[in-house]
Amino acid sequence: MDKKMQVLVVDDNEIDCLTTGSFVEKANMNLLVANDPYSALEIIANQEITPEIIVVDWIMPKMNGLELCQKIRELKFTITPYIIMVTSNSLGENEQNALDVGADDFIEKPIHGAIFISRLRVGARIINLQKKLLSLAHTDELTGLLNRRAAIDACKTHLSRLARTEVPLSHCLIISDIDFFKKINDTYGHEMGDRVLVDVSKRLRNSLRPFETVARFGGEEFLLYCEANEKEIKLILERMRKAICTDPYTLNDVSLNLTMSFGCVVIKQNDTHHDINEFIKTADSLLYEVKNAGRDNFKVATFASMKND
Ligand SMILES: Nc1nc2c(ncn2[C@@H]2O[C@H](COP(=O)(O)OP(=O)(O)OP(=O)(O)O)[C@@H](O)[C@H]2O)c(=O)[nH]1
């Protein structure tokens, strides 16, 4: 089931806030309340609960709704919130001003409950469309894994977390590639090749924890990112290698076995200022050492040791 839409109501008048809030709850949406624009900006900055629809009263002391709307539009969001401006001051010029500074909708006080709820639903439709687009832009259609662009974004997030942790930790970035994949396509056809890619994706995904990253990086190439030190990652990679090669891949009456090769760079806190592409390049060069040495194996090295090579 879809998660409830997060709606922030910003109004300095507590009674109006209660009335508007009751309509939000009637629309089966989750209500957040701010009695002044500064608290609203704090709630918006909170990473845990980003409001998706913001209902802003125009007339408020210190900062009015128009200014708040402008400030919100200067912020960066993954999903841009839908803003409904509310005012008792409904001259045509005001409506135009509100829309020009970035409001998506404009309604008059006193609020007509049923119409307001319908307008909240318009906002919810726009937010859901944005989510759908984002998911399409980030997902590999065949395997359902993150695609290359989303993988790079996810790695950047992991790296900035590593840079900020207080305990000494290390992370691992792995590039892995199915061995002789072209032969599978050539021998059994593209449909079997696709089936293999889907199955390999599942096996890789199941080998890491949910908060770690598994992405399809290219044709038969995958990027994985996890929290582990050198000793731990060797155990994880051996488990992964076995998960890939032990059970056969089947489609109709065809059943085949395959192997995979892995290059893994261990990243320490001191390395986090480097560009993500340097880590990817390093993992890739380790992968090609494995390919040249006969495949079906992994190679692990710290980023620092590879930089000094
Ligand atoms: N079925 C299928 N094949 C794909 C897809 N994307 C890429 N490929 C194929 O993957 C194959 C990759 O071949 P190569 O790069 O030569 O690699 P390989 O045969 O795995 O050889 P090594 O990596 O050296 O072990 C090519 O034949 C591509 O056409 C896809 O989405 N589906």
Residue nearest to atom 1 of ligand 1 (CA): 193
For the CA of 190, the nearest atom of ligand 1: 1
Phi-psi region of 189 (alpha: psi -120 to 50; beta: other; left: phi over 0): left
Gap from CA of 259 to ligand 1 centroid (Å): 13
Structure tokens at 69: 């709307």
**Ligand 1 contact, 218 CB (< 6 A):** no
Structure tokens at 146: 């993150």
Integer CA distances (angstroms), 74 to 37, 56, 67, 173, 209, in order: 15, 16, 11, 34, 36
**Ligand 1 contact, 180 CB (< 6 A):** yes
Among residues 88, 81, 82, the alpha carbon closest in space to that of 111 is found at: 88
**Ligand 1 contact, 193 CB (< 6 A):** yes
Among residues 260, 240, 256, the alpha carbon closest in space to that of 193 is found at: 256
Alpha-carbon span 302 to 266, nearest angstrom? 4
Helix or strand holding residue 83 (H, E): strand 82-87
**Phi, psi dihedral angles at 104 (to 5 degrees):** -95, -20
Q: Which residues contact 110 (CB under 8 A, 6 or more apart)?
A: 88
Say if residue 37 is preceded by a cis peptide, omega within 30 of 0: no
**Ligand 1 contact, 296 CB (< 6 A):** no
Alpha-carbon span 305 to 303, nearest angstrom? 6
- Interface pTM (ipTM) of the complex? 0.93
- In this structure, the chain runs to a length of 309
Pocket test for ligand 1, best of 181, 200, 295 (most atoms within 8 A of CB): 181
Residue nearest to atom 12 of ligand 1 (CA): 182
Pocket test for ligand 1, best of 175, 177, 180, 182 (most atoms within 8 A of CB): 182
Q: Which residue has the tokens 């044709």?
A: 219
Tens place of pLDDT per residue across the chain (309 aa): 568 999 999 999 999 999 999 999 999 999 999 999 999 999 999 877 889 999 999 989 889 999 999 999 999 998 999 999 998 876 667 888 999 999 999 999 899 999 999 999 999 999 999 999 999 999 999 999 999 999 999 999 999 999 988 888 899 999 999 999 999 999 999 999 999 999 999 999 999 999 999 999 999 999 999 999 999 999 999 999 999 999 999 999 899 999 999 999 999 999 999 999 999 999 999 999 999 999 999 999 999 999 876
Q: What is the pLDDT of residues 75-126, one digit of tens each?
A: 999 899 999 999 887 666 788 899 999 999 999 989 999 999 999 999 999 9
For the CA of 178, the nearest atom of ligand 1: 20
Give the three-class secondary structure for 149. Answer: helix
Query: Can you point out the beta strands (E) in 153-276?
Result: 170-178, 213-216, 221-227, 249-251, 254-256, 260-268
Cβ atoms of residues 50 and 77 within 8 Å: yes
